[in-house]
Structure 1
Amino acid sequence: MRVTVFGATGGIGRHVVQQLLDAGHHVTALVRSPAKISLAHPGLTLITGQLSDRTALTQAVTGADAVISALGPSLKRSARGTQLADGTRTLVAVMDEQKLTRFIGLATPSLADPRDKPHWKHKVLPAMAKAMFPGALREMKSMTAAVTSSGLDYTIARITNPTNKPATGRIRAGFLGHDKVGSAMTRADIATFLVSQLTDTRCQRAMPAISN
């Protein structure tokens, strides 16, 4: 498959790119700083640009079969603006123009899925995020709404505590109040879940919570 990756230079995105290439997919990555990717591979195409650059977005997704976004908002309290949410809205519009429907991305259990049942995370996590990362929470809500309110065939994985530990191969996915899903998860395993959604149809138009 031809897969466009956003956030390819981040902790999760690097694993996504490597796993896609290892599986034989062709990867196009939109990056602000190509120098941050030391990987050289015949199946990897880098496009320099930002999420606000509609021309670069169009170039990145043209001909793609799916988009995987490992983007997330800055957790710095000093962060300002809505660049991520604005860029996601532009991306959704460009995908619509290109007749590209498959979107796989990330969010947090601070945001609920309609399939969830009442759960302590619905109360605790939004309160913590609002107190500690108010800007990040606003960005996450807006970028997620841009995707879920569209006609895209999306899967948005909700993660709580990503770690840099080695991959475990153990992945739990489900909905709060229904399934036994924890909090911690290695970035490598998060990437594995995202890549698996290219062929797994069980979580389409849903936001499963995932963990190890």
Structure 2
Amino acid sequence: MNVTVFGATGAIGSLTVDELLDNGHTVTAYARNPAKVPPWWDGCVRIVIGEMSDAAAIDSAVDGADAVVSALGPSMDRKATGLPLVTGTRQILAAMHRHTVRRYIGQGTPSIADPLEKETMQTRLVSFMGRTLLRRAYDELLGMTSLIQKADVDWTIVRFTAPKDGPKTGKIRAGFYGTDKTGFPITRADIAAFTAAQVDSDTYLRRAPAISN
């Protein structure tokens, strides 16, 4: 399957690209900074360089894809301004529409509610912290996800709370707040593995599973 990955050179995005390659997929990686492209991708990953405001570059990246994976995450720099990833998500959705790509897998936090779950102390805490301490990033995450959930695409949003460095364990709890037991920490390697696996699965179509170790 041809998969386009946005945020491909980030901490989770680069691991997701590697997982997709290991799973036998053909990958196009969209990156803003060519200096961050890992050298081992040379010859096995198609690279498209561009900003999230570059409609033509985004269109080129999505052209020919069977699925789009977004590992985009907002800047935590308190000096950052605007909502560039919301703009970029609109561009991605427009390109998917033009090229009739329906499958979208993204990432988010418990601040984003699954359509069928109940609010819990954990979701309330994460939302409160986001609104209070990182309001711009919080608004960007919610804005991106709102666009996706309202779009005519087969979306899955993978939610997690406390990503950390560490090896892939394969021990992942996936479920929904108010129904299933999920904790806080999870390795970025496990997030990448779970995200990549959704390309071949319809278990969580139009759902937002929460994951932890």
Which range, TM-score by smaller chain?
over 0.9
CA distance in 1 between counterparts of 2:196 and 2:118 reads 27
User: What pairs with 1:49-68 in structure 2 (closer than 5 Å)?
Assistant: 49-68=50-69
Q: Given residue 13 of structure 1, which amino acid in structure 2 is its aligned partner?
A: G
User: Is the Cα–Cα contact under 8 Å of residues 48 and 57 in structure 2 kept in the other structure?
Assistant: yes
- CA shift, 1:97, in A, is 1.1
Question: In structure 2, what is the Cα distance between the partners aligned to 1:15 and 1:140?
Answer: 21
Name the counterpart of 1:98: 99
Could you tell me the TM-score, scaled by structure 1's length? 0.97
Report which stretch shifted further, 1-10 or 22-31.
Answer: 22-31
Whole-angstrom CA distance in 2 between matches of 1:117 and 1:148: 17
Matches within 5 A, 1:27-176: 27-38=27-38, 39-176=40-177
Identify the residue that residue 5 of structure 2 maps to in structure 1: 5
Moved more, 30-39 or 99-108: 30-39
Give 1:116 deviation, angstroms: 1.2
Gaps of 5+ in 1: none
Does the CA-based 8 Å contact 2:111-2:142 persist in structure 1?
no
User: SS where residue 60 of structure 2 aligns?
Assistant: helix
2:141 & 2:41 partners in 1: Cα distance? Answer: 32
CA distance in 2, matches of 1:118, 1:124: 10
Q: 1:156–1:207: 8 Å Cα contact kept in structure 2?
A: yes
The letter of the residue matching 1:207 is A
**Once the two structures are aligned, what percentage of the paired residues are identical?**
46
C-alpha distance after superposition, 1:4-50 (max 9, x if no partner): 00111111011111111122211101111122112234330101111
The match for 2:180 is 179
Distance 2:55 2:98 in 1: 12
How much has 1:188 moved relative to structure 2?
0.5
How far off its partner does 1:183 sit? 1.1
How far apart are 1:76 and its partner, in Å? 1.9
Supply the RMSD in Å over aligned alpha carbons: 1.0
Give the structure 1 partner of residue 19 of structure 2. Answer: 19
SS at 1:56's partner residue? helix
Partner AA of 2:94 in structure 1: A
Q: Distance in 2 between matches of 1:128 and 1:154?
A: 26
- 1:36-75: per-residue Cα shift (whole Å, max 9, x none)? 1122343301011111111101110111110111111111
Aligned length: 212
